[in-house]
Amino acid sequence: MTAVKSNRNKSKPLAIALTTTGALLFLAFAISLIWLICKKLRQRNKSPILPPSIEEHYERVSYHTLANGTNGFSEANLLDLSKVLWLNVKH
């Protein structure tokens, strides 16, 4: 019986140490997680303001004006991409 009591007495500090270590690790993990979430939220708030919409950058052009400016969407106004690509590859 004394052997059983001595084993219980030895395991009690071990159980306390393991429980304390587990609690500290859990607390460290929780604090780290909260810190990371707060850091992400602060970065979002500091993000630059989105650029103005496209309408503010380019003037609107009517279909009629565009058709007149391109000679009725003539094929003569199209770029020959094969030549452009060939020039880019050659250089």
Domain boundaries, the chain: 7-46
* Alpha-carbon gap, residue 66 to 35, rounded angstroms: 55
Identify the pLDDT of residue 34. 96
Q: Please give the helix or strand (H or E) that residue 81 lies within, else none.
A: helix 81-90
Overall pTM > 0.85: no
For residue 62, give the DSSP letter. -
DSSP-derived 3-state class of residue 53: coil
Task: Give, for all 91 residues of the chain, the pLDDT tens digit.
Answer: 555 566 667 788 888 999 999 999 999 999 999 999 998 888 877 766 655 565 566 778 899 998 888 888 787 777 666 665 555 555 5
**What is the dihedral sign for C-alpha 59, 65, 66, 70?**
negative
Q: Is 86 exposed, middle or buried (0-12, 13-18, 19+ CB in 10 A)?
A: exposed
Q: Which residue has the tokens 């009517």?
A: 62
